[in-house]
Structure 1
């Protein structure tokens, strides 16, 4: 899998991830069937506080 895009939202990141083989070749035979974006929750469940994993810009 290869991360190709990350959309940042207030409470989550939406991560797109096709197969690495598809990204290298752009051959539709290597596309993942039923693949959708992955939702990463930014809210730390234990305390309700936000986690920050941003790198310095």
Structure 2
């Protein structure tokens, strides 16, 4: 599944945003704080990017 499809399924469809600014902030938080740090990625052997970096 692509990043954009994952983001849509895990974040955007579950919330209603009152302003574009609140949507931007929410998407930024999701991307930087969860997707890139904590979410397990199949292409990384089901590790988070942070776990992979710590293993090196």
Q: Which has the higher helix share?
A: 2
Bin for the TM-score computed over the shorter chain: under 0.3
Give the structure with higher Rg (CA): 1
Q: Which has the higher strand share?
A: 1
Q: TM-score, normalised by structure 1?
A: 0.23
Q: TM-score, normalised by structure 2?
A: 0.24
**Bigger relative contact order, structure 1 or 2 (CA pairs below 8 A, ≥6 apart):** 1
